[in-house]
Structure 1
Amino acid sequence: MGTPEFSVPILETLCQSDFKPRAVITAPDKPAGRGQQLSSPPVKIIAQNYKIPVCQPKTKEELAKQTLGFKPDIILVAAYGKILPKEILDTPKYGSINVHPSLLPKYRGPSPVQFAILNGEKETGVSIMLMNEKMDEGSILGQEFIEIEKDETARSLEEKLSKIASKLLIKTLNYWIVINEMPKSAKNLVLPQQQDNSKATYTKILTKQDGKIFWDKSAKELERQIRAFYPWPGSFTVLKTSADGQNKFSNLKILEAADSDLKTEKELGEVFLADSQELTVQTGQGCLIIKNLQTEGGKPMSAADFLNGHPEIIGMILQ
């Protein structure tokens, strides 16, 4: 079970191993783009390439009926986005296993990669765990660590974690199935590691509004936000312009930036050119140097190109 890009390398690795899935369950197709054409989840496309049956339930009842109809020996979940009921979790002979991109019990929930970057973590990782009815609270079967690079974005980190998860999952499945075939007396020698719930932290579902930039934050915080929320939900500020006596407000998305310890007497959110001639904004502590951005409805561009077309931004106060 899975839906987004994070699940794709995991599914491909399973398909090329001794654990090729009998079926794939993913989210329904959704309208996308300006034309609102139906778009298939990435996992569905991969499954079809490997000629694996695909189910896209729309209700809890459909999910249970379709899942249990396959009489699975094991259920594997990677970013499916739904909490599975007990009747599904308890059915497989070898249990239900989840791949989670954090070092549990830290960063339980739907956005662990983004929040690890946002909070300035130096490392994160992947956890393979047995599932229960609660969110990401199951016992750990395996974990692997990875350092978070200084320029890491959510996209680049997810790609790395997905590759790590693919290898770790195969390794975990191999020993987990062997353990389950052992006599009960031998099974007790290798127990899954229970999580310490007192150390648990949680994430939330991100919305577009979470990407709003508040200029009273420090430059370091904002630089992390921009990387953490790239590509979704993105980080934006509001640009106020005037024409024919009327104010116009538009979103300006910041795609890449760097923090600076530069001290000035500028107002919060004020745009200026630093001595390096780079597009710079005053923050609550330090300054943010804009590298790449995107106007509302426009294409991504460098700050230099934007400045060439919009020199009037110098001196403006971003909101």
Structure 2
Amino acid sequence: LRPLLRQPFLTQQRLSSTAPQRKTSDPLRILFCGSDEFSAASLSALALEHTRNPSLIHSIDVLVRPPKPTGRGLTILREVPLQSVAESLSLPVHAVDTFTGWQPPLPYNLIVAVSFGLFVPPRILRSAAYGGLNVHPSLLPDLRGPAPLHHALLLGRTHTGVSLQTLSEESFDSGEVLAQTPLPGFPIAKGMKVPALRDMLAALGARMLVDGLRAGVHVPPRKDVGWTPTEEEREGIAHAPKITKKDAEIRWDAWMPETMALRARVLGDALWSRAVARDGRTKRVILSGVEEV
């Protein structure tokens, strides 16, 4: 995908300068929904803004998924990383694994969902005066889906970026784009791995979120500023589905050495293959430390 440079775009540096008038809102009572290190950057930025500018952000409540059993025999309960971050910031934390029958703990007027994993239903969005926002680590509409970081690397993208979008009542990653990294995006360094790309885009997304709130992009009437691909560009747009074990299964009949090295770099020590043991049973063999030489 090689999108052409188009205007206009709202960026971290240009949010206030491009708008003819900065919109204001009531003090925000935010319900922040998240899970991982990527969402932690946005939560930390919001908490800092809450301290510095309480007239903009009045309060923040955090919603996470409950601990999940992991390890052999599923005997270890592991909290999502965001929970400890929220607790360190002295923010109220609530856990939910489904929105069915769930009622928010306190009144709120804005939902911010970043790498949460659950679809926020229309009744929850409609109960917030300003609806919902999401920080997505790609140049939407490219790489919609739960794993844009992995697929940006697997597809050999040379550039990527961040999009600030509204939460749609219909599906994931189909809201209005309120701010976006200008094309062609930020360059992806050669050999970059997922954690480095995540950290870079997490910081950029957190800044875009706070700057967007300062500029009032969440206040109606909202303006979609996302890039509209041409027919040629549309052919290069890809989906970013969840990474599964199947993605890490080595295809000896199809993969070139550089493909295996790329998969090892992006998926870590998760590559595996099938082998037949002496007793005739087929077993899964995990390959660790795969490198291209």
Q: Please classify the TM superposition score into its range, dividing by the shorter chain length.
A: 0.7 to 0.9
Is it true that 1:252 corresponds to 2:286 in the alignment? Answer: yes
Q: 1:255 to 1:160 in 2, by over 3 A?
A: farther
Give the structure 2 partner of residue 313 of structure 1. none
- Find the aligned partners of 2:273 and 2:195 in 1 and give their Cα distance: 21
Equivalence map 1:253-292=2 (5 Å): 253-258=287-292, 289=293
Is it true that 1:113 corresponds to 2:149 in the alignment? Answer: yes
- Find the aligned partners of 1:94 and 1:248 in 2 and give their Cα distance: 55
Is it true that 1:138 corresponds to 2:168 in the alignment? Answer: no
Larger strand fraction of residues = 1
Structure label with greater radius of gyration: 1
Give the structure 1 partner of residue 119 of structure 2. 83
Instruction: Normalising by structure 2, report the TM-score.
Output: 0.74
The one-character-per-residue Cα deviations of 1:44-70 (angstroms, maximum 9, x if unpaired) are 11111122111111222244x12xx42
Give the structure 2 partner of residue 219 of structure 1. 257
> Does the 8 A contact of 1:113 with 1:228 survive in 2?
no
The one-character-per-residue Cα deviations of 1:235-282 (angstroms, maximum 9, x if unpaired) are 22345565xx76774413244422xxxxxxxxxxxxxxxxxxxxxxxx
Unaligned runs of 5+ in 1: 259-288, 290-319
Please point out which of 154, 159, 164 is paired with 2:194. 154
- Find the aligned partners of 2:239 and 2:59 in 1 and give their Cα distance: 30
Is it true that 1:166 corresponds to 2:206 in the alignment? Answer: yes
SS of residue in 2 equivalent to 1:60:
coil
Give the structure 1 partner of residue 38 of structure 2. 6
Q: 1:120 to 1:16 in 2, by over 3 A?
A: same
> Does the 8 A contact of 1:111 with 1:205 survive in 2?
yes
Give the structure 1 partner of residue 86 of structure 2. 47
> Does the 8 A contact of 1:6 with 1:159 survive in 2?
yes
> Does the 8 A contact of 1:117 with 1:227 survive in 2?
no
- Find the aligned partners of 1:20 and 1:72 in 2 and give their Cα distance: 10
- Find the aligned partners of 1:194 and 1:99 in 2 and give their Cα distance: 13
Of stretches 75-84 and 203-212 in structure 1, the one that deviates more from structure 2 is 203-212
Equivalence map 1:187-266=2 (5 Å): 191-193=223-225, 196=228, 199=234, 201-215=238-252, 216-230=254-268, 234-238=270-274, 242=278, 249-258=283-292
- Find the aligned partners of 2:248 and 2:195 in 1 and give their Cα distance: 15
- Find the aligned partners of 2:101 and 2:148 in 1 and give their Cα distance: 28
Name the count of aligned residue pairs. Answer: 244
> Does the 8 A contact of 2:274 with 2:282 survive in 1?
no
Shift of 1:225: 1.8
Please point out which of 164, 180, 183 is paired with 1:128. 164
> Does the 8 A contact of 1:139 with 1:195 survive in 2?
no
Instruction: Normalising by structure 1, report the TM-score.
Output: 0.69
- Find the aligned partners of 1:37 and 1:229 in 2 and give their Cα distance: 23
> Does the 8 A contact of 2:158 with 2:188 survive in 1?
yes
